Structure 1
Amino acid sequence: MRLDEYLDRELVLPALAATSKPEVLREMTMAVAARHPQLDADLALSVLLDREGLGTTGIGDGVAIPHGKLPTLSNIILLVGRSLHGVDFEALDFKPCSIFFLVLAPEQMTGIHLRILAHISRLIKDDSFRKDFFEAEDREGLLRLLQSY
């Protein structure tokens, strides 16, 4: 599996502006809605916030993987974002998150949704990947990095 198969270059955000968890989720859902006008951004945000209410998706090492399922989607949507200053995402290790992988999936695509989450989890365990991700100069640098894994 390769993440770039699910990645739209316009949904690689090298410098998120948000400074809090709800703001990051809103910024990312608004970016997705701009590329996918059929997506209800408010519903997507609500689904993500509900998921965060079950337990943080800030998994540690500066990484968060917010995710949710929407009945109106027909395909998986992946957004990759980076915060240059870090955001308190209530991560398991209590450290700010700088690397974000947002995964939105149709309700009926549980298998591929779980495979993508597992792939991201494996990828971000790689110290050199996280370092290279944070040091990438811009969107193109992040895309090249993501295409190389």
Structure 2
Amino acid sequence: MKISELLNPQAIISELSATDKKEVLAELTDTLVALVPELDRNRVLEVLHEREKLGSTGIGDGVAIPHGKIAKLGELQLVFARSTKGVDFESMDGQLAQLFFLLIAPEGAVGVHLKTLARISKLLKDVNIRKQLLAAKDAAAIYQIILANETSP
């Protein structure tokens, strides 16, 4: 399954207002809960914070992919966000994170969860795609960039 098939265009934040890691996780979660109201905001945040305790999901090159699993979730959910200023996400390379993908998967969906993480990582590994996403004028342009640069499954 492609990222663009999982990412609702309404789940794109073209400019985060958050200035630290905790605020980023809250803003991403609030966007997700607005689109999937059956999700418990506090439970999502708890899962994300627990995952971050294991090690930062800031993978470097200005990218962070906070993720976790929730019981009784029907399908995998994604939120994309951008911070042109950057946020300290305790990334492995020490750089500020600017591009964020929140990934929340159903508890039993190990395969699709890992495949989606790999797809996101592969997409954002390309420096030109990262530059395009940072330069995009709005959420619609961000979505089109993701759509245009995705490889087939």
TM-score of the aligned structures, taking structure 2 as reference length = 0.96
Identity %: 44
TM-superposition CA deviations, 1:77-123 (whole Å, max 9, x none): 01110012100000001110000011000011110010000011111
Name the structure 2 match of 1:105: 105
Distance 2:33 2:3 in 1: 20
Alpha-carbon distance in structure 1 between the residues aligned to 2:101 and 2:31: 13
Specify the code of the residue in structure 2 equivalent to 1:71: A
Aligned residue-pair number: 149
Residue of structure 2 equivalent to 1:64: 64
Q: Does residue 49 of the first structure (1) align with residue 43 of the second (2)?
A: no
Q: Distance in 1 between matches of 2:2 and 2:110?
A: 17
> Where has structure 1 moved over 4 Å in runs of 4 or more?
none
Hey, what's the Cα distance between the residues in 1 that align with 2:49 and 2:132?
29
Q: Distance in 2 between matches of 1:54 and 1:137?
A: 35
Secondary structure of the corresponding residue to residue 75 of structure 2? coil
Match of 1:76 in 2: 76
Q: Secondary structure at the match of 1:10?
A: helix
TM-score by length of 1: 0.98
Provide the rounded CA distance (Å) in 1 between the counterparts of 2:87 and 2:66. 13
Q: Name 1:118's counterpart in structure 2.
A: 118
SS of 2:9's equivalent?
strand
Distance 1:28 1:106 in 2: 17
Deviations 1:117-146 (A, max 9, x none): 001111111110111010111011101001
Partners of 1:39 and 1:72 within 8 A in 2: no
Would you say 1:2 and 2:2 are equivalent positions?
Answer: yes
